[in-house]
Amino acid sequence: MNVLKGPLTFIPKIISGMCQDVIFYKTKNFGTRVNNEISLLVIHNISLPPKIFGDSYIERFFLNSLPVDKHPYFLEIQNLEVSSHFCIKRDGTVVQFVSCLDKAWHAGVSLYKGREKCNEFSIGIELEGADDIPYTDAQYQSLKYLTLSLRQSYPNIKDNITGHSNIAPTRKTDPGIAFDWERFWNSIK
Ligand SMILES: [Zn+2]
């Protein structure tokens, strides 16, 4: 596999749930989709420690290997077993953790257009970031190409793309006010 650093510059292919030309770190935090029809894209943010960018702690969190001595916050979250299908780092680098064919654990208790348990039918993309800090151009670029790719492979996604805060409004605020939805929608027209 070619490991691509930095933003995507083309629409990557997805073969058997695996996005080609991006980094893949296999986590054990996933399950089998009960309903295999992928029909939603959920956009999130995460940063570890909060609002600190550039380390590999997100990756280590999803791989259950967070070094708890490095930051007090890590102690609070060390026993959570979570994941997303993709994370887009500040420099646009895309990392995949779970096959699109499997269920990542990103949405939690959630509701989209009357359907509960969004993990069952969604793809989760984490942007390395925080609610009130602008995302990078490189992230918007990678998100555009990744979204176009996912839509090609899973056409039922269509315009069913939303933020975590929209499917779990009492618990979650991500991707936050900093995420420019208009810019994103224009980029995938
Ligand atoms: Zn989230």
Tell me the residue type at 26.
K
CA of 12 from ligand 1 middle (Å) equals 24
Give residue 3's pLDDT: 59
Among all chains, which residue has been given the structure tokens 């780092």? 89
Which pair of tokens denotes residue 79? 């026993």
User: How far away, in angstroms, is 32 Cα from ligand 1 center?
Assistant: 20
| pLDDT tens-digit series, residues 97-129 | 999 999 999 999 999 999 999 999 999 999 999
CA pair distance 124, 107, nearest whole angstrom: 8
* Residue 92 pLDDT exceeds 90: yes
User: What span, in angstroms and rounded, lies between the C-alpha atoms of 129 and 145?
Assistant: 19
Q: What is the mean pLDDT of residues 48-70?
A: 96
Residue 26 · residue 20 · CB < 8 Å: no
Q: 55, 186 in Cβ contact below 8 A?
A: no
Q: What is the pLDDT of residue 122?
A: 98
Mean pLDDT of the 174-181 span: 98
Ligand 1 centroid distance, CA of 159 (Å): 19
From CA 113, how far away is CA 103, in angstroms rounded? 19
Cβ-based neighbours of 55, under 8 Å, separated by 6 or more: 48
Q: Both tokens of residue 153?
A: 């492979």
Closest CA to 73 of 54, 95, 55, 47: 47
Show the domains of the chain with their CATH numbers.
Answer: 14-187 (3.40.80.10)
Q: pLDDT tens digits for 9-53?
A: 999 999 999 999 899 999 999 999 986 699 999 999 999 999 999
174 CA from centroid of ligand 1 (Å): 5
- pLDDT reading at 66 higher than 60: yes
With cut-offs at 50, 70 and 90, classify the pLDDT of residue 1: very low
Measured in Å, residue 153 CA sits from the centre of ligand 1 at: 23
Intra-chain end-to-end CA distance of the chain, in Å: 29
Give the pLDDT of residue 161: 98
Residue-wise pLDDT tens digits, 125-161: 999 999 999 999 999 999 999 999 999 999 999 999 9
Catalytic site positions: 126
